[in-house]
Amino acid sequence: MAEKIITTEYSEEMQRSYMNYSMSVITARAIPDARDGLKPVQRRVLYDMSELKLGHDKPHRKSARIVGDTMGKYHPHGDSSIYDTLVVMSQNFKKGMALIDGHGNFGSIEGDGAAAMRYTEARLEKFAEEVYLKDLDKTVDFVPNYDETEKEPEVLPVRVPNLLINGAEGIAVGMSTSIPPHNLGEVVDAVKAYIQNPDITTEELMRYMPGPDFPTGGIIANKKDLPAIYETGAGKIKLRGRIEVELGKRRSDKDKLVITEIPYTMIGAGINKFLMDVADLVESKKLTDVTDISNQSNKEGIRIVLELKKDADVEKIKNILYKKTKLEDTYGVNMLAIADGRPETLNLRGILKNYLDFQYKNNTRKYQVLLEKELEKKEIKEGLIKACDVIDLIIAILRGSKNLKDAKACLMEGDISRINFRVPGFEEDAKQLRFTEKQATAILEMRLYKLIGLEILALEKEYRETLRKIKEYQHILKNRDTMNQVIMEDLDAIKEEFAMIRMTDI
């Protein structure tokens, strides 16, 4: 076969190759999807844990087992990125709602790393199991994995706006995303308000969802900038830690400043950096009223204590701490996500619109599947009710048939001439046969004692329930207002079970 040499400009080939590479990183690695709010590695870890049956009520499984299974089947990009993802999804100080229940050392808010994957265990949180993975078989599309030996979901059927609730962090090629976490209950209220009034303004939505809710608590100091951030999808949030004053109970006791909440940006090495900065301020005589610094934080929460001299100026010390240390910091917001296959900076209304379009699609597919199942049940129930009237004939057909094929043909066609009956006289009853293929199959699959014991009243009750469900599902599929009501009721149920109080003051 003759070689074919293609001549091209080096600069054009480099540009084309780099663009392909960058788009691959953007869409398949670093930036979350606007529909389920997940990056591919997060989605694959959760799906693999679902396939391994690691529900919230099942025993924990070794993290190494989960990582290996995910890497072998769905995400061939190295075990460290998969394990890091699993760890972060289990850390309730980083996520608005933790998705994985970790057992063992999964790191700390002070920057301690998680133990190696061979030492830790994990399973799904109930929130992830119920809200992120339910109805997988009825809703989303499945696509081939990297080597086309397995199938994986294109997105997960997440029933809440995960992009807002858990936020997102990611650095791609030439762009990055940084979305703060929000309070589940407030997000649900905002979604319901948007459903009821699609023309609602950003400021009106903020009556329900006033701003981010960081799991580390703290205070948002620039409330006036939030409307512009949610309108444009970008901006800066000024975060402050929470400082409380503890007065000495006795004359000999010193007054203390106690930091009980830190800015979200201080997670990790930020706490040690803060302690070092305060020590430097004391040594440089800029904080002359501080006599001692101690970090008394534990599993119960943050507690950084500054002991003060007698009659110290508390407000002055607070101002110095906010100005000279990371106790006041900025969180850069850039709400970038993959929408319709391309990266796009979304404002609050854009995020809610993408989420709701996804919910309409998922619910339509779900109720179409449920409707088809009920229509099949209806057909079978009609056949069994009909069978009750000619039960003796059906039993005679089963006894007189050479094989199931002849019996099925007799039930469907009503031709009993070739069947060897021990008791004649069923010619009139044979006119009532003519079952459909599904009905005949259902009859033949029943054991004889169940067939004889069929109760017409029970069948008719089940049949009426099936008709009710058919009517309900058809109404949901044909009526957008009814579909909206179903989505809002589902959100209310999620809010009632999983919502928590707001941590961050605005």
Contact status, residue 125 vs residue 133, Cβ threshold 8 Å: no
Residues 6+ apart with CB under 8 A from 185: 495, 499, 500
**DSSP string for 288-329:** TTEEEEEE--BTTB--EEEEE-TT--HHHHHHHHHHHSTTEE
Helix (H, G, I), strand (E, B) or coil at 4: coil
Helix (H) or strand (E) holding 243: strand 242-246
Segment (H or E) for 259? strand 256-261
How far apart are alpha carbons 319 and 276 in whole angstroms? 17
- Report the catalytic residues: 119
Q: What is the DSSP letter of 50?
A: H
Decide: 431 and 413 in contact? Cβ < 8 Å: no
Is residue 147 classed as helix, strand or coil in its secondary structure?
Answer: coil
C-alpha 315/C-alpha 281 separation (Å) is 16
Distance CA(193)–CA(199), nearest Å, equals 10
Distance between CA atoms of residues 407 and 397, nearest Å: 6
Helices (H) and strands (E) in the chain, counts: 20, 16
- Determine the length of the chain: 506
Q: For the purposes of burial, counting CB atoms within 10 Å of the CB of 26, is it exposed (0-12), middle (13-18) or buried (19 or more)?
A: buried
* Helix 348-389, helix 184-196: angle, nearest 10: 80
- What is the DSSP secondary-structure string of 397-448? HHHH-SSHHHHHHHHHH---TTS--SS---HHHHTT----HHHHHHHHHS-H
SS3 121: strand
Q: Which two tokens stand for residue 490?
A: 């589902």
Distance between CA atoms of residues 307 and 314, nearest Å: 11
